[in-house]
Amino acid sequence: MGKSALITGASRGIGRAIAEALAGEGMDLYLLCHNNIEMLDELACRLTERYSISCHTFCGDVADSEFIDMVFSNIDSLDVLINNAGISHIGLLQDMTNEEWNKIINTNLSGVFYCCRAAIPLMLSSHSGRIINISSMWGSVGASMEVAYSTTKGGMNSFTKALAKELAPSNIVVNAIACGVIDTDMNSCFNDEEMSDLINDIPIGRLGKPSEVAQVVLELASAPEYMTGQIIGMDGGYI
């Protein structure tokens, strides 16, 4: 039987690139998105035809534990879990509402908890598995105007390290990729001038590509099990 992977936030951006890369390795996929099921189904159709894999799609909120439990009730075995879905919030902390705070915490952190909690029993039964969390460099160093976002990614990094320790005896590997600025819709809030300032701060002189993050995911998915609990920097030398 082929290997399988579940990717959250797979309809676009980094998640979509990861889906394409894992499909290219012949993995069967469970793809989740929040709203755009048409776009996700179109991706699933294309990957199924091109790579002769199976693709199951689900549409819902990762912050809804009942939705995540429903998704996992359709899955018998899972080799790789990619916690990619996430949102950003740009603004002064003093202006942030309770609703905005809760939304980012629930999406970026609780969603990861719900997915891991549901995936772990499947991985325990095969005494193997890979969990890869898509984090941010701001989780290590913090970003002004992105305090809540930095908090969620810092939490994700601690979650990664702690869960790696908890699951290492069961041969389940947990790592995170701390991305720098990657060229996706998440950064469409920046105007040309802000983007040019941002790029000037990146030593390599350009944004990262979603396909480059996907390449690191592929490498982590096949790296030795001894490499666990790591936060892998992927930021063009920014940090």
Binding site for ligand NAD (CB under 6 A): 8-9, 11-15, 33-34, 61-63, 84-87, 107, 134, 136, 179, 181-182, 184-187
- Return the closest-CA partner of residue 182 out of 12, 5, 6: 12
| Closest CB 137 distance from ligand NAD, rounded Å | 7
| Closest CB 198 distance from ligand NAD, rounded Å | 9
- Return the closest-CA partner of residue 209 out of 200, 201, 220, 217: 217
Residue 204: Cβ within 10 Å count: 12
What the block records as the tokens of 235 is 């930021």
149 among known catalytic residues = yes
- Residue 120 or 179: which CB sits closer to ligand NAD? 179
Q: Give the angle subtended at the CA of 227 by the CAs of 214 and 207, to the nearest 5°.
A: 30
Of the listed 30, 51, 114, 149, which one is catalytic?
149
CA distance 177 to 212: 11
CB 63 within 8 A of CB 110: yes
- Residue 107 or 157: which CB sits closer to ligand NAD? 107
- Residue 61 or 170: which CB sits closer to ligand NAD? 61
- Residue 150 or 228: which CB sits closer to ligand NAD? 150
- The interaxial angle of helices 111-126 and 147-167, nearest 10 deg, is 20
Positions marked active-site: 149
